[in-house]
Structure formats: C-alpha cells, structure tokens
Amino acid sequence: MLAFRTELQKIFSTRLWWILLLVGVAISGGMGILIASNVAMSPGAPSSAFSYSYSVAGRVSYLVPLLLGTLIITNEYRYQTLSRTLLLGFSRRTVILSKMAVVAVVAFCIGVVCTTINATVVFAVVTAGGKDSMLSAPEQLGILWRTPFAFVLWGFVGLGFGLLLRNQIASIISVLGFVLVVEPVLTTLAGESDVFATVGKFLPGAANLSLIWPPDSSFTGSVVQNLPWEQGGAVMALYGVLLIGCGYVFAFRRRDIF
Amino acid sequence: MTTTRVSDSAVVSEGANSLRAVPILVNNLSKTIGRSEILHDLTFAVAPGRVTGFLGPNGAGKTMTLRILLGLVAPNSGTATFGRRSFNELTNPGNMVASSLDSSGFHPGMRVGSYLRIQATALGVSPSAAQEVIDATGVGGFVRARIGSLSLGMRQRLSLTSALIGSPSVLVLDEPMNGLDPHGVAWLRDYLRYRAALGHTVLVSSHALAEAENLIDDVVLIDGGRLVLSSSLTSWRSVAPETLVISTAKADELTTHLRDRGVIAESASGIVRSLGVSEQAVRDIATQTGIELVAVAPATASLEQLFLDATSRKGIEQERG
C-alpha cells in the first residue's frame, strides 16, 4: 500500500499526467465534435453513426493510456531513477504491482474524463442540430461505461511494452508505429480475407473495438469486430498481462541496475 | 548547512531505527560482466560505530560493490550482507539502510518538495521528522525548485537528505562529498562522525582523500576489483613504509638511481619522495653516485600518499610478478 501511494504521488508530481489528460481531452473533444457534426448530423444517419461518434474516446484516445503505461516505466530508465525507487526498499515485484495499480487508477480516471468530454460534445452538437442525441440508448451507454475499462487495459499493454523495451524513445516510436501503422494495416488485411479475419479479430485494435463497440452494431466500412465485448476485453487483458509478465520475468526481475 | 547544525542532528536521530546497527559483511564477492572481471573474490567487513572509508582509484569496483550490497546488481558469487541478511532480506531495508549512490537519478521535472514528500511517504516517515532532516541538510530553501535546475552540490544535498530521512542505522554513501562546498563537507564530516558515535555503521566511498582523512576510522582499499588493504587508518599508517622527502639539485637523476636499486621514488619540482628506504641508504646512494643532497627528512604519510603508495606498489608488484 505504501508502494502504491508512493507511485501515485510520483505520477502526480511531474507534468506527465496532465499533459496526457490534455491530449486525451483534445482528441476526444475535437474529434467528437468533428465526427458528430459530419456523421451523426448527416441526413438519415443510421444509429451506428451515433455509436461511431460516442466511441471516439475508446477508438482513438486509447493512445493516451497506452503512452501513460509506457512512460511510467521507461521514465525510470530514462532518468535513471530506478535505483532510487528500489533503494526505498520495495521489492521489484511490489514496484511493478504498484505501477500496475497506478496505471489502472490513472488510466481509468483519464478514461472517465475523455468519455465524458466525448459524450458531452456529441450530445451538444447533435442536440443543437435538433436531433435526438440517442445518448440513453443501451448501445451508447455500453460504449460509455466500457471505455474507461478499455483505457485501463491499454495502460497495462503500454506498461508491458515499456518493461520489455526499456528505452523510452524506442518504446514511444514502437507504440505509435504499432497503433498508427502496423495495426491499421493488419486490420485492413484482416478485412480483405476470411483467413486473416479469423486471426485479425484477436489483434489488439480489433479486440479493443469489440470491447467498446461490439459487433452487432458495426458501422458500415469498419472491419473485424467479431468478438462479443467480454471476449474483446479478455483478449486485451491477455495482451496486457502477457506483456507485463514477460517484461517482468525477462527484463526486470533479475536485471542488474547500474 | 554549517557545522553548528550538527546539534540539530541529535533530534534527527532520536527516532532512529530501534534495530541495533549491524556490520556490513562482504564475502568472496565476484562479479564479471561480459569478459571483464569487475570484482574478484572481495572480502571485508565494516564495523558499526566507526566510519569506514571505501577507497580505490576510479574503476576499482567501489560502486559495483555498493550496488551489489544494495541488491541492485546480482554477484556471480559471494555475498554482501547487513549482518546475516542481504538488503532484500531485511524487514524494512529502506528505513534501516540509508543509501546515496550518486547525485543523479532524479526526474528533472519534479520539484524538490514533491520528491522529499514521496521519500517520506515511501519510508513511512512523518512530515515533521522529514522536516528536521531537510532543515539540517539545507535543502529546505529549495522545495519549490525543479530538480533539473539544481546545481551538482544541491543535488548531492538532496540525495543525502533523501537517504537520511528514514533515520537509518546503516549508512552507505557513494562519494557523498562530490560537489559539496566546504560548509557542506564540514557538516557531512561532523554528521557522519556523530552517527558513528551513536553506534551506527557508516560506509563512505571516496576518492577525495584529503576530505576522507579527517573523517574515517577504518580503511577498505580496493584496486582492480581486488582487496588491497582492510585495516584501521592508524594501523595502516604505522605499518606504512617510511617516506622520505629529499631535496637536491639533481632530483631526476637521484630518482633514476633510486629506482635502479629497486626503491620506489618519484620526483616533482626538485623534490624526491622515496618509499621504504632508510635515510642512511639514500645518503649512501647519493655518495656513490656523486649527487649532493640539500636535505633529507621523514614525511608523515598523508592518506593520499598511503593511497598512492598502496596502489602503485601493487602495480609494480604486478609488473614484476
């Protein structure tokens, strides 16, 4: 508990958390407004257009918890603060567990803020346009309450990434490269063939989409979201736990710290 | 941070760890990284109630030894323990052992105050107890500053502050004098002597020998990852070979003759220092070689001289070996 409180104080003692929060708010708010005014406001927009608008935070802003998880561990390497962290007397396992807990708490809170902003701007745009906001539909509510949990899982994935790569620049480039290049390419490929599609739905991006915005409401043009949200979440959690587990066992538990 | 503040440190240590101070025991410690052997079968003990200087030239393996002792690096063989337990086996290592490895390793964007609050939280120290240490080390005036903006000396003070915040009974400090101003050095010296007087175990690595001289009781000297010497400073001095200071117009020539006869000697600005040779022998050599001596006098070996002798003698022995 002491280790958790220490890690929590650490994250709030630098500028990182509010810069990330700001990025998340900007993406969720900005893209929320854009998409709501373009998609949901177009004449005869289907209900999935609303889900598309309400899921901006979960579909795009997950980059923020991903970076949070990566940075919380790679900062220790970059500024060589890991020695001091361990000399406080916490075991290496405790340090990682408390970092996981902090990532969970902070990512969840950022998720709540991003989701709220997302929902608020979409609601405002749609209502101002004289349409029904559809906010109380079970589908939208599902998206909204599941998004913060998706953020937590992305935070774990980031933490695992950082543990394995250690180098902060390499980690950030890998994370961004994966999210912005590799994942979309793979997802597109998966959409092109049935063979790829069976594997594709287990990719993190697709699993994330399944988690926040399950398949029965798929929006025209989007692909591979073939898992129920529970399974999508389970796949995401598996990624996080596997990455953190491997990172801890192979790159942290016994590593010499100079 | 002045010497007068030392009285305050009595308050600082009131709440000191109730555990009795334990010795630091290093046994047959070896560490190899890649192909280079950093430590070789190193064995020494650090007694409570004394200040022990951990000395050696750059690259001798001091920091590596301390990192192994503090559980950051795993040795290939051997042990480094506090009493019978390794750092990670201690019940509350952060509170029992104060450690300061260097003046870096801070997040530059963090404020001094935040950093110290985090340390206090982690060690379960009350804000008022932490404040006493902060006042004593003189970082109190900088709590609003970001650590990245601090000078080397201030960061060193911060590092020491965070080490001492948990009222530990064992202190392991790597080059704590680095970057400190004369006030800081004097304060630290008095403070460490005070902690030793309380019965605490104090291990201080240093290559600032003039500063270590007035501080340490015991010496552990290593070179090339091997133990050169482990004794009290007094007994090291007493067994050290006699050093002579010889003044002559032909300093370089005399040095060459002395060295030809297997005497360790060095010359600088017309003064020759010889080691382990009697005054009469020097005079004989001078007479034989026709060199006129102005004066020959025995010198009290400074810690620096002892250090240089011990490390250079070893080098010569290895060359001969």
Last residue of a domain, one of B236, B268, B286: B236
The phi, psi pair for A124, rounded to 5°, reads -65, -45
> Are both B202 and B259 inside the same structural domain?
no
**Number of domains, chain B:** 2
B292 located within any domain: yes
- Cβ separation of B121 and A254 shorter than 8 Å? no
Residue B178 contacts residue B26 (beta carbons within 8 Å): no
Q: Where are the domains of chain A?
A: 2-251
Residue A33, min C-alpha distance to chain B (Å): 34
B312 located within any domain: no
Query: Does A1 touch chain B if contact means CB atoms closer than 8 Å?
Result: no
**C-alpha A78 chain-centroid distance:** 23
Q: Which of A84, A85, A98, A168 to mutate to test the interface with B (most CBs of B within 10 A)?
A: A84
Partner residue facing B122 (CB), from A6, A81, A256: A6
> Are both B213 and B231 inside the same structural domain?
yes
- Cβ separation of B118 and A13 shorter than 8 Å? yes
- Rank B128-137, B139-148, B206-215 by mean pLDDT and report only the highest: B139-148
pLDDT of residue B232: 92
ipTM: 0.87
B321 located within any domain: no
> Are both B246 and B201 inside the same structural domain?
no
pLDDT digits over A26-60, tens only?
Answer: 999 999 999 998 887 778 778 788 888 999 999 88
> Are both B80 and B202 inside the same structural domain?
yes
Indicate whether B14 pLDDT > 50.
no
Task: For B160, name the nearest residue in chain A, comparing CA atoms only.
Answer: A84
Indicate whether B12 pLDDT > 50.
no
Residue B48, min C-alpha distance to chain A (Å): 21
Last residue of a domain, one of B216, B236, B256: B236
Closest CA to B310 of B226, B252, B211, B217: B226
B191 located within any domain: yes
Kindly report the CATH number assigned to the domain that includes residue B264: 3.30.70.790
Give the B-side interface with A, CB within 8 Å.
33, 67, 70-74, 88, 90, 92-95, 97, 99, 101, 104-111, 114-115, 117-119, 121-124, 162
- Cβ separation of B88 and A3 shorter than 8 Å? no
- Cβ separation of A88 and B119 shorter than 8 Å? yes
Partner residue facing A75 (CB), from B99, B107, B117: B107
Kindly report the CATH number assigned to the domain that includes residue B26: 3.40.50.300
Partner residue facing A83 (CB), from B72, B88, B123: B72
Range of the domain at B82: 3-236
pLDDT of residue A178: 86
Q: What percent of chain B has pLDDT over 70?
A: 90
Indicate whether B258 pLDDT > 60.
yes
> Are both B49 and B196 inside the same structural domain?
yes
Partner residue facing B67 (CB), from A10, A13, A258: A258
Last residue of a domain, one of B201, B218, B236: B236
Q: Is B140 helix (H, G, I), strand (E, B) or coil?
A: helix
- Cβ separation of B72 and A81 shorter than 8 Å? no
pLDDT digits over B297-313, tens only?
Answer: 887 777 777 787 777 65
Residue B202, min C-alpha distance to chain A (Å): 17
The phi, psi pair for B146, rounded to 5°, reads -75, 140
pLDDT digits over A207-236, tens only?
Answer: 888 888 876 544 444 455 578 889 999 999
- Cβ separation of B73 and A14 shorter than 8 Å? no
User: Percentage helix, strand, coil, to 5, in chain B?
Assistant: 40, 25, 30
**Structure token pair of residue B299:** 């010198």
- Cβ separation of B92 and A90 shorter than 8 Å? no
CA atoms within 13 A on the CB side of B24: 32
Dihedral-angle region of residue B32 (phi above 0 means left; psi in -120 to 50 means alpha; beta otherwise)? beta
Partner residue facing A9 (CB), from B72, B74, B117: B117
Residue A147 contacts residue A58 (beta carbons within 8 Å): yes
Which residues lie closer than 8 Å to B264 by C-beta, 6 or more apart?
Answer: B274, B275, B276, B309, B312, B313, B316
Q: Which chain A residues are closer than 8 Å to B88 by Cβ?
A: 91
pLDDT digits over B56-97, tens only?
Answer: 888 899 999 999 999 999 999 999 999 999 999 998 899 899
H/E element holding B273? strand B271-275
